[in-house]
Structure 1
Amino acid sequence: MSEPLQERIAQAMADLEATQAAVARAQADLSHASATVRSKDRVVEATVGAQGELTGLKLLDNKHQSMTGPQLAASIMEAVQQGRAQMAHRVMDTFAPFTQPGPAGSARRGVDVDWNRIFGSALSGESRAGSSRPGRNRLRDEIAEDDESAG
């Protein structure tokens, strides 16, 4: 037999409060998070905050003095993009549990998040070492492109 309505409501409220507390903890943890990365040529070190903002930039060992402006700009852009991608993935990993349905019997349904819309260019054109978890829509896009090219 099913539980009385009052018990189900109480359980749903407890689940909601637990989820709200977990989200608040995740937000607090991320408010102090950052990623520091170096460009491949090891000329630039960029630090990026949880919202993708550039919080630090270092030119290492005066290597930049032998570079042209466009070369230095490319190194800076590369390091910043890598940092933004790292932080975007960290945010996605932190909030992933809230995008999944709750355990059996739970009222929590999970939230469908469009990470590409949230992070934009931070997720495009980068690859994370050891990760095979691209954006949700990227696979659909590739399937659609395969269908179009086959026709």
Structure 2
Amino acid sequence: MTESMQERMAQARAHLEKTRAAIARAEQDLRNTSETVRSRDRAVEVTVGPQGELTGLTFPDNKFAGMAGPQLAASVMEAFGEGRRRIAERVMETFAPLTGPNPHVPEGRGADVDWERIFGSALSGGRRTGGGRTRDRLRDEIHEDDTDAAPGGRA
């Protein structure tokens, strides 16, 4: 028994409307999302909003007090990059099921989403590809400088 073209079109439209409604719900849910992340050295805590923006910055336990400026900056950037990566992953996980093909349109492929273009460096934790300097290397150099500093002073 084959479906008529009108039945297939009606099913395809119904699926499209369900998908549109699911996208609207997902957008609303994500509008209120955030990620709070601490740096590995526990000196910095950032909150990242739904569009990857910095919405909060705290310095728990005043651990930053003994840090040199570049070291503190590296901690902030590390935590912020991780927060952006987590938000990007949450968005991708939320929308991935909604980008598949419509089962009532056999010729359809679904949406091709270029997540890398949308989120850029957030997907790699802020690390650039193609020979760019990574924050981890910067952090390693800062730690090396700290070991070279004179006792009781800064480098």
Distance 1:15 1:100 in 2: 11
Q: Displacement, 1:67?
A: 0.3
**Structure 1 length normalisation: TM-score?**
0.78
Distance 1:27 1:11 in 2: 24
**SS at structure 2 position matched to 1:6:** helix
| Structure 1 residues without counterparts, runs of 5 or longer | 128-151
Aligned partner letter, 2:82: Q
Query: In the alignment, what sits opposite 1:82?
Result: 82
**How many residues get paired?**
125
Contact 2:81/2:125, CA 8 A, preserved across alignment? no
- Give 1:70-149 correspondences, 5 Å limit: 70-103=70-103, 106-107=104-105, 109-125=109-125
Distance 1:52 1:126 in 2: 12
Q: Determine whether 1:12 maps to 2:28.
A: no
Distance 2:80 2:42 in 1: 13
**SS at structure 1 position matched to 2:48:** strand
Percent identity between the two aligned chains: 64
Aligned partner letter, 1:24: A
Q: Displacement, 1:100?
A: 2.2
Query: In the alignment, what sits opposite 2:25?
Result: 25
What RMSD over aligned residues (CA atoms) do the two structures have, in Å?
1.6
| Structure 2 residues without counterparts, runs of 5 or longer | 128-155
Query: In the alignment, what sits opposite 1:149?
Result: none
Distance 1:126 1:81 in 2: 5
Aligned partner letter, 2:63: K
Aligned partner letter, 2:34: S
**SS at structure 2 position matched to 1:47:** strand
Q: Displacement, 1:109?
A: 3.2
Higher radius of gyration, 1 or 2 = 2
Distance 1:10 1:102 in 2: 12
Distance 1:8 1:100 in 2: 18
Query: In the alignment, what sits opposite 1:35?
Result: 35
Aligned partner letter, 1:82: E
Contact 2:100/2:111, CA 8 A, preserved across alignment? yes
Q: Deviations over 1:21-78 (max 9, x none)?
A: 0000000000000000000000000000111001101011111110000000000000
Q: Displacement, 1:13?
A: 1.0
**Structure 2 length normalisation: TM-score?**
0.76
